[in-house]
Chains A and B, each alone.
Chain A
Amino acid sequence: MAEQNRKMAFICSKGNLDMAYPGLFMGWAALGNGIDVMLFFTYWGMDMINKARVDHLEIPPVANASMKMNMMGVPGYLGIPQIMGIIPGMTAFASWLMKKKMKGLQVPTIREYLQMIVDGGGKLYACKNTVDMFGLKKEDFIDGVVDIVTVGDFIDMTEGAQIIFI
């Protein structure tokens, strides 16, 4: 019997801008190293493949203890007072800042990254339960989403795969 190729499955369950990236970085790196890659989108992670949402992911500063003002050039590790985080526009500002930083590092946008993964042979799937809960249809998703699958399908498809939950 031929040796099975290594398989990795990434479950993307978060839709905040900062948590959208890890699955893409790792999925892309895995493809580059010749691994079979599947990405499953569930719950808030569904925003990553939702045509209407993918370009508008955000990072809110509220309750994010790791987000310090040194990202904005303030020396040391001064936090952002939580009360500031609720000021209108703070989420937009933090999101703008993160997008700018990523662009500076030549990291693609979420939409571009997903396209790269699809072009590199990665497979994207949407979680059926979440699709039903949010009232979504296949047409709501970006091109490249192969199918909407149940959790049972997911278990079958990931036989022998390393599963990473994000």
Chain B
Amino acid sequence: MANRTIGGKTVEVNEEGFLTNPGQWTKEIAEELAREDGVPALAEAHWKVIEFCRQDAQASGKSPTLRRITTAAGVSTKDLFALFPKGPAKKVARISGLGKPEGCV
């Protein structure tokens, strides 16, 4: 655990850079983490995924898997991989201020 200032706010992150408390997340944090992960600007389609992930995690207590996102958020696999290039699995969770997805699909 360490403290890190992201998007103008000091938050706690784990050794892989994931926020440890989703409650500390802000949209500015998402924007900065997205830039770090190779997503220069977050558009409406990105926010749809991020907001779904946050709501789903709050309801279920765990970070959604890619399969969960595509089936429940109505975002196709192709779009998801295009929105978050080079591996959306961890990226989406990190940008959304959640932990690593726990499922295998």
Binding site for B on A (CB under 8 A): 5, 25, 28-29, 31-35, 106-108, 115-116, 119-121
Contact = CB atoms under 8 A, between A and B. Distances in A.
Interface residues of B, number: 16
A33 B77 contact: no
22 contacts: A5-B86, A29-B104, A31-B87, A32-B87, A32-B89, A32-B90, A33-B89, A34-B86, A34-B87, A35-B87, A106-B67, A106-B68, A107-B105, A108-B105, A116-B70, A119-B76, A119-B77, A119-B78, A119-B81, A120-B66, A120-B81, A121-B81
Interface of B: 66-68, 70, 76-78, 81, 85-90, 104-105
Q: Is the interface of B mostly helix, strand, loop or mixed?
A: helix
Given A108-B67, A116-B67, A119-B76, A31 B105 contact: no
Contact of B87 (A33, A106, A108, A119): A33
Nearest to A33: B87
A88 B27 CA distance: 60
Contact of B77 (A25, A29, A34, A116): A116
